[in-house]
Amino acid sequence: MTSNLTDSAPPPSGGADLERRDVANAHTPFPKGRVAAWAVTLLIAAYCAWSIARNDNFGWHVVGQYFFDPVVIDGLYVSLGLTVVAMAFGIVLGLLLAIARLSKDTLASSLASLYIWFFRGTPLLVQLIFWYNLSTLFPTLSIGIPFGPTFISWDTNSVISPMTAAIAGLALNEAAYMAEIIRGGLLSVDRGQFETAEAFGMTRIRALRRIIIPQAMRSIVPPTGNQLISMIKATSLVSVIAMADLLYSVQSIYNRTFEVIPMLLVAVIWYLLITSVLNIGQSYIERHYSRADRRSGATKPTKEDTPALVPAQEAGQ
C-alpha cells in the first residue's frame, strides 16, 4: 500500500522551477546571417554608387546642364500629355469593350473579342508606324454610306499628324488591355449582385453604374495604376514617328552635341522620377480600397454586435 502511494506521488517542484527559469531566460538568437547579408548588400551598393559617381564617362556635368533645358521640359510635357489623353480614351473604350465582352449578345461579344485579340497580339510600335503611314493605305478619309454616296472627305495627311497618330496608337492599344482589366474586376463581383439588381427591376446599364462597377473598383484600380506607369514608358515609342516627346527631345540634343550617354541619363532620371511619384499614388489608392478588408479583419465584436447573456434565473423562467 505504501509503495503504491509512493509511485503515484507528484514529482518534486525542482523540475518545474528549472523549466520556468529556462523560459524566462529565453531570447531570440542574433540573426548573424541576415546581418551579414545586409552588410554585403550595402557594401556592394556603396561601391556601385561610388564607381558611377566617380566615372567621368557618365558626364554628370552635362546631365546637370541639360536636366532642366527648355527642349527637355517641352518633351516631358508632351509625354505627360500623351499619357493622360491616351489613358482617358483607353479607359472609356476599355469599359465599353469589357461590357460588350460580357454581353449575352453574340455579335457584340465577338467584335469585342476580335478587337482585344488584334490589339493585344500586335506590337505597339508596329501599330504606331501603321497609323503614321495610314495615308499610304488610304489617301483620303471619308464619311458616307457604304457602297453609296460620300458626304465629306479629308486628305489623310492633313488628319493623321504625329500627334493624332500617337494618340490613336496608344489609346487603341491601351483600350485592349484595360478591357481585360475591367472585365476581370466585373467578374470579381458576386453574381448575386446582378440577380438582386434584376429582382429590383434595374436595367443592366443602371445595375452596372450603381452597383457592380463601384464594387469592382477595388479590383480594377491597382492594375490600372500599373497600366498608367507602363503608358508613361510606352510614350517613348512615339519618337520613331517624329513626335517630340521626352526621348525624342534628348535625341535631338545629343545628335547636335554627341553627348549620347549623358542625354540618355537625363531621360532615364525623368522617367524614374515620374514613375516613382505614380508608384506612391498607386500605393495610396491601394490602401484606400483595402480599408474595408483591414476593418473586417481587425474589428472586434462590440456590445451591440454580441448578444446579451441572459442570467440563469431569467433563463429558467
CATH code at position 69: 1.10.3720.10
| Average confidence (pLDDT) over 191-201 | 78
pLDDT at residue 191, rounded to an integer: 78
Beta bridge partners of residue 152, listed in sequence order:
143
pLDDT at residue 149, rounded to an integer: 83
Q: Where are the alpha helices (DSSP H) in the chain?
A: 2-7, 14-24, 32-54, 60-66, 70-102, 106-121, 124-132, 134-137, 156-159, 162-187, 191-199, 204-207, 213-234, 246-257, 260-289, 291-298, 312-316
Does a structural domain hold residue 250?
A: yes
Burial code (b: 16+ CB inside 10 Å, e: under 16) for 83-100 equals beebbebbbebbbebbbb
Number of domains forming the structure of the chain: 1
Identity of the highest mean pLDDT range in 75-89, 198-212, 293-307? 75-89
Structural element, H or E, at residue 141:
strand 140-144
Does a structural domain hold residue 206?
A: yes
φ, ψ for residue 309, nearest 5 deg: -80, 130
Could you give the 3-state DSSP secondary structure of residue 299? coil
CA distances to 47, 71, 220, 258, 309 from 252, rounded to whole Å, are 33, 9, 38, 10, 79
pLDDT at residue 112, rounded to an integer: 94
| Average confidence (pLDDT) over 96-121 | 92
DSSP 8-state code for residue 211: I
pLDDT (tens digit per residue) in 229-277: 999 999 999 999 888 899 999 999 999 989 999 999 999 999 999 999 9
Q: Which of 86, 99, 70 shows the shortest CA–CA distance to 127?
A: 86
Does a structural domain hold residue 131?
A: yes
C-alpha cell at 300: 472586434
DSSP 8-state code for residue 244: -
pLDDT at residue 143, rounded to an integer: 85
Handedness of CA 240, 246, 249, 250 (dihedral sign): negative
| Average confidence (pLDDT) over 167-193 | 90
| 97 within 8 A of 112, measured Cβ to Cβ | yes
pLDDT at residue 9, rounded to an integer: 52
Among 80-89, 203-212, 297-306, whose mean pLDDT is lowest?
A: 297-306
pLDDT at residue 205, rounded to an integer: 78
Does a structural domain hold residue 268?
A: yes
Does a structural domain hold residue 33?
A: no
pTM of this structure:
0.75
DSSP 8-state code for residue 134: H
Q: Give percent above pLDDT 90 in the chain.
A: 45
Q: Which domain holds residue 275?
A: 60-142+151-290
Does a structural domain hold residue 6?
A: no
Does a structural domain hold residue 264?
A: yes
